[in-house]
Structure 1
């Protein structure tokens, strides 16, 4: 073999760098798994620039959705494996071997059902690939993501929660100045904190998704022992209990056994962690002690929960509108249960 011998090269699909989402117009859109051939240096050099075309592997699975969009160039999608639903200007179920031809400006998207998987090849015949440069994708999404409605509901409930009557004790300064109120509050909070820990243990124990299990494990490590920190720093009796708080806390624990992963993300991260950030901001001043030289339970929740509330958002972005719709009542119910917890805390403080 000489240097002039033509080379035969092979590339695994995994050799081509994958992206899962792009930002268009300030909003993140889920792509499933998208691997543009020109994001691989050797393949990019092999493909001709004259009469330039682009190729990309695409993959959607288990109810994932690529939102309806349009682009300025012709596109062809070949279904190589599995099945998928074409949505947009034309709706049709597609199977292996089917070919979709999309004219410039035509609105189209793809959606799988739970348990369904689609693998295909996306071809553009003119210019840069649609997502070849993920920082400047050549697409325009023509409908808002279904996740926006869920986010809006959660933000509305969070705003309502920020005005909870329990926080009146903090805003007025009474919690900082009245030791009896502080003892009652911390004792009630400790009961809820114990159940929060149990909820995270339960979720970790039954999670079957390896990627989510690793994400959950990181969250658990950061939250581990916060109940003990609260008890030791504020001299709370380990056997303090309240039947209402325990009943409400048990609801959250049991949902980790019976809910799917999307519902767990809504309950733990959209609802509880969002509330924890507001809680930390409202309460840290009343319990702040510079002389202690250590971060308090309340400081911790004001600092880290902003990151914790974003956990699982990428997973939710990959869900179909019908799957997101099923999460709306989950969000409402979780907020109702959490408000029950704080209603009881307020009642115990006032006792």
Structure 2
């Protein structure tokens, strides 16, 4: 593992396209010989923002490919194979298989960007974008993606999905997770309880998708996704005592029922957007950030790794559909994010202990008459039976 400080990189003072345009402090990482040799020309790129308070750890874990940590604020210590002190401006290069972990330093902890780089064969089709550093490193300034080149409907949908994801990153729940208040035991207990309600419901969403899917390729992906996620709600329940938490919440139940119902009424393409774009992208943002307040649990670390892969499955499936109609898919995307924001708002309210945020109700507390009058609850009851082995 090597640490390079950005103070050792020459600054770029103006843009070549317009020498009159002065920049602030702008440094190209490839202008440093070690960093240039380390960065792949083409790669899968995964970026995660990390905020650690003083003495708060992010436990080490082995990387499959290369990794980098860019410390943007504060100071702390890299822990793992080669412990060392780091401060704002440091770029840490972590080799494949290396153990990467962090601890916030005194007095204010640290903020950093964690980067995972997976090298690719340039002939291999890619689901994500090439590393930005590789694009900036081109000497000829050629732009392979010219303005005249048509952008696929799926890629337009991905861009729109990222807008929703960035908005969610600033939501009340994400603000709570990033605050010192989230480290309190009572807040963590309530947060886990609320997450449990959604986690149980998510198992039913996946079951419903398998039940209603008819497209052969989508069936295979739906079954694989369910196999990957099966029992994860049980793993979550082992982190807390479900008996001390609400077992039902009106907001989470309503939004969860909406997702379950849409698995039956939506098209294959819309189901793919709801599950792989909306739910998995939201989970990636949420559970990656939650690692900082639950550093000793592998539940959040596991999801941080698999959620991106599940997004890729949906992307690849949609790419195989010719002539996609963006209108209904954009509608499903917007509605799905609205429902996930509702769920996460309720989780935030419950975790923060805001008055009557949660109404307690034992499992199976609804009467048969109530189920008969509410088709969504009736469908949920049927899925309870279908998913009996999952729950």
Q: Which interval holds the TM-score relative to the shorter structure? A: 0.5 to 0.7
CA contact (8 A) 2:210 2:219 kept: yes
Q: Partner of 1:160 in structure 2?
A: 167
2:327 is matched with which residue: 309, 325, 328?
Answer: 325
CA contact (8 A) 1:188 1:348 kept: yes
Cα distance, 1:318 vs. partner?
3.5
The equivalences for 1:184-223 within 5 A come to: 184-223=190-229
CA contact (8 A) 1:204 1:216 kept: yes
Cα distance, 1:236 vs. partner?
1.6
Structure 2 unaligned regions, length at least 5: 1-41, 43-122, 126-145, 355-391
2:315 matched to 1:313? yes
1:282 is matched with which residue: 289, 294, 314?
Answer: 289
CA contact (8 A) 1:265 1:311 kept: no
Q: Partner of 2:189 in structure 1?
A: 183
The more displaced of 269-278 and 226-235 is 226-235
Matched positions, count: 210
Q: Partner of 1:14 in structure 2?
A: none
Q: Partner of 1:300 in structure 2?
A: 302
CA contact (8 A) 2:284 2:308 kept: yes
CA contact (8 A) 1:188 1:345 kept: yes
Q: Partner of 2:247 in structure 1?
A: 240
Q: Distance in 1 between matches of 2:228 and 2:241?
A: 22
Q: Partner of 1:261 in structure 2?
A: 268
Q: Partner of 1:337 in structure 2?
A: 339
Q: Partner of 1:95 in structure 2?
A: none
The equivalences for 1:68-217 within 5 A come to: 142-176=149-183, 178-217=184-223
3-state DSSP of counterpart to 2:242: coil
TM-score scaled by structure 2? 0.51
Structure 1 unaligned regions, length at least 5: 1-25, 27-133, 290-294
Q: Distance in 2 between matches of 1:281 and 1:152?
A: 20
CA contact (8 A) 2:217 2:317 kept: no
Q: Distance in 1 between matches of 2:194 and 2:211?
A: 27
Cα distance, 1:142 vs. partner?
4.4
Aligned-CA RMSD value:
2.3
Q: Distance in 2 between matches of 1:214 and 1:299?
A: 26
Cα distance, 1:340 vs. partner?
0.5
CA contact (8 A) 2:154 2:315 kept: no
CA contact (8 A) 2:291 2:300 kept: yes
3-state DSSP of counterpart to 1:285: coil
Cα distance, 1:335 vs. partner?
0.3
Q: Distance in 1 between matches of 2:189 and 2:149?
A: 54
Cα distance, 1:326 vs. partner?
2.0
Q: Residues 322 and 265 from structure 1, CA distance in 2 versus in 1: closer, same or farther, beyond 3 angstroms?
A: closer
CA contact (8 A) 2:284 2:307 kept: yes
Partner deviation per Cα, 1:18-43 (whole Å, 9 max, x = no partner): xxxxxxxx9xxxxxxxxxxxxxxxxx
2:254 matched to 1:252? no
Partner deviation per Cα, 1:227-249 (whole Å, 9 max, x = no partner): 11111221223871111110111
TM-score scaled by structure 1? 0.56
Q: Residues 239 and 171 from structure 1, CA distance in 2 versus in 1: closer, same or farther, beyond 3 angstroms?
A: closer
The more displaced of 164-173 and 179-188 is 164-173
Larger of the two Rg values belongs to structure: 1
